[in-house]
Copies of this chain bind each other. A is one copy, B any other.
Amino acid sequence: MSNLELKVLGQDAEAAACCSPMVHEPLDGEAAVQLAKMFKALADPVRLRLLSLIASHEGGEACVCDLTGPFDVSQPTISHHLKVLREAGLVGCERRGTWVYYWVLPAALARLSSLLQAPAGASAGAAR
């Protein structure tokens, strides 16, 4: 994926067009199944913190050796959570020598972020 493509997948108009907010039109069943899987991967505090640690790590990627220290859970548990994030398409990884390195997949985050964009103005009901 080129830098340009990654930029397009950010918070600009093209991203909004590719992943219409759910406030604009009802989600279809197939999209809902796929998106629910991604949200399920985010529905755990340890996985959310892992994703955040990876995303905010210097250089945009983190060695698995940097990801166990901050948590009060075992290495196999961390590995399981990383696998769930990977299978949901939220992170990528690569082995280099002894360690596996993880990075977030920006297009996946951008898709979920766009989907959840709130209405720009107040709706009648929301103002209650």
A residues apposed to B, CB below 8 Å: 1-3, 6-7, 9-11, 22-27, 29, 32-33, 35-37, 39-40, 42-49, 51-53, 55-56, 59-61, 70, 92, 94, 101-107, 109-110, 112-128
Contact = CB atoms under 8 A, between A and B. Distances in A.
A55 B7 contact: no
Given A23-B55, A32-B46, A107-B118, 9 more contacts: A7-B122, A23-B104, A24-B56, A29-B45, A39-B39, A59-B123, A59-B125, A60-B123, A60-B124
Nearest to A22: B52
Rank and list the top 6 A-B pairs by shortest CB-CB distance, nearest first: A60-B123, A103-B125, A61-B125, A40-B43, A6-B122, A106-B118
